[in-house]
Every structure is written in structure tokens, then in C-alpha cells.
Structure 1
């Protein structure tokens, strides 16, 4: 199998990057407002479905845009104070998982790039990359689950690693969704219990 060289991969133009960034922040602010402020429409409170949809969209943006600062932990923590914490965890995890495909398929196309990182002169980078790739090659679902469940900076690049390691996308998606569901539900339950024991002065 021939690996496409990095130079042949599609390049996102600066204009498109700016457009995506602007849209991402616009939807994020809208999602945050709807989820956290409970906007009324015609005197009727917004449906809880609006909050869950907002969390899904925010999670999707957090994954697709990768390095944009989407405050998912804060949104999940606060949203659980007025929404079902289990549904909050599922909605956020579903959105994050749905946005993993760009980095995964970038990893399948740029195997040589990831392998180049694995041979990096930086010992720490080389060690982490080699270890994570090894996990994906031997225990793909467990590696996906643990990287998603435990907060860590490596998960942002987990899709690249999984794609380069040849992990079937369904296995990566299954493990990541399960892990993110655990992580987001724990955060949501924390917000739920904190809201039940702390009352802020009006």
C-alpha cells in the first residue's frame, strides 16, 4: 500500500480557516447562551432538548476544530445544574465523538508524518508517540477508551495516532464514545451535586 506524501494532502486555505473559526465561535456562543441562560420564546421556557443540542454542537466543534478553546468541561458542569446529568454526559460525548473523523482520516493519509514524529529527536515526544501507537496497535478499543476517559492532552491527537496505527474507525469511535461518556458524565454529576448543595446569592 502506498502512503500519500504530506505534500499531496489537501491544504486548507487561510480564508477557509478564518471562516470556520468565525462560524465555530458564533455557534459556540449561541449554544452557550441557549444552554446556560434558558432563553424564553414567547414567554415559554426553552425545551431541555435545546440545551442537549447545544452541548452536542459544542462537543462537535471542540473535536472538529481541535485547537479552538471550547470550554466543554465548564459547559457540562454548569448545564447539569438544570438538565439531566446523564443526558448531559451523553450529549456532550456524542458531539465530541462525532467530530473525531477529520483527525482520524488525516492520520490514515499521513502515516509517514506520524511515523516521522515517532522518530523525533525530542525524547519525550518520541516516547509518548511510540507508546500510544503501541497501545493502538495491540489494544485499540482499550487505548481509545482510556485516552478518552482520562483528561489528558494526548487525546487531541488520538485520531491521528489511531488512523496511523490502522485501527478500524468503528473500534476507535466505540472506545472513544464510551470513554468520553464516562468522563463527561462524571463532570456532569459533579456539577449536579454542587448545584444541589451550593446556593449563590441573587
Structure 2
């Protein structure tokens, strides 16, 4: 029969071996999310749409004043706006405006060449390992899409995200660089999607801007 001393020693050993209760840690700043009320989101979206409309009308007049720089202006605006880690509103505005003043197909082709070149900034940041958004949930989700089940998943993700105007492509470009996706494949996938998108936006500008002018006249 074990003695009382042996039982007490065993109880003490079990107590020391038991894991300490986990303490909940506050969420890191990288994971914190800003809760914007739906009402304010709607107002912000409306304000953004009106701002874009005004910029389109103003920029369209400037393009017509300097027709010899029209396509070059589209190229520069598209390249610079996609080289920054923001929603490329200036590039979209230039394509919309130029589409109402010039050949929409040519405008789309010019923007489709410029935008992938600008997106190389995000790709190179990810390739060099300087991305500081690894804990961002959206970034992790895009990484999952790009890893996928085969080697085509990364290219397909780049194509789809470049085809639709959205602020997520900067994260996709960083993810492509971090995954060491071949730069040639990245550029081709990006070019296909962004060219189709730009042609569509240019045709939209060619129809929408004259329509708005008729409504306002």
C-alpha cells in the first residue's frame, strides 16, 4: 500500500506538470479590422462615384486639348496609378475619358500594356521578401487561391483579379512575388486580364460620357 507521503508527492508532481491556462492575447494591429457602418459605406461609395464622374468629365476636356498626347497620357496614367499600392482610380479615369475621345480598342490596348508594368512594383516587393502584410487575412486568402491544386492556380488567380476592377490586385501581385511565380507568367496573365478590362472600360466611357453630357445639356 502506498504511504500518504507518496500520494502527496504524486499529487504535487501532477499539479506541476499540468499546463498553465492560456491567456487570450489582444489582436495584433495587422489583424485589426475597422468596422464601418453600412450607411457610411454607401455614402462613401456614392461620393467616390461622383468624384470619378467629375474627374472623367474634366480629364476628357484636357485630353481633347492635347490630342497628340492622348494615348501617351493614357499610358503614363495607367502605369503610374498601378505602380502605387492603392486603387488605381486615376488610371481608370484616364481610360474612361480617353475612351470617349479616341478609339476605345487602342485605348484599351495601350492601358493593357502599361498596367502590368506598373504592377511589377508589388511583385518585386513580394519577391524580395519586403511585404509586411503576411498576417492580413485577405492576403492569406489570396495566397491560398494562388497555391491551389496545380501550377496554373497562380496564373488563373492573377488573370481573374486583373480582369475585375478591385483593390485586391496589389495583394495578388505581392503574393505572386512571394511565391516566386515566374515574372513572364505573371506579366502575361496580368496583361490578358487588364487588356480585356481596359477595353471594356474604354467602350463604357465612349458610351457613358456622351450620354451624361446629353442629360446635362
Residue 144 of structure 2: aligned partner: 131
Instruction: After TM superposition, give the deviation of residue 197 of structure 1 in Å.
Output: 4.7
Residue 110 of structure 1: aligned partner: 129
Residue 202 of structure 2: aligned partner: 188
Q: How does 1:1-202 map to 2 (within 5 A)?
A: 36-39=62-65, 46-47=67-68, 50-67=69-86, 70-110=89-129, 113=131, 117=134, 120=135, 124-125=137-138, 127-135=140-148, 138-139=151-152, 140-195=154-209, 197=211, 199-200=213-214
Instruction: After TM superposition, give the deviation of residue 173 of structure 1 in Å.
Output: 0.2
TM-score by length of 2: 0.62
Instruction: After TM superposition, give the deviation of residue 178 of structure 1 in Å.
Output: 0.7
Cα distance change on mapping 1:162 and 1:130 into 2, 3 Å: closer
Q: Unaligned regions of 5+ residues in structure 2, if any?
A: 1-54
The number of aligned residues is 159
Q: Unaligned regions of 5+ residues in structure 1, if any?
A: 1-28, 41-45
Q: Matched residues in 1 for 2:157 and 2:201: separation?
A: 21
Cα distance change on mapping 1:137 and 1:52 into 2, 3 Å: farther
Q: Matched residues in 2 for 1:108 and 1:185: separation?
A: 30
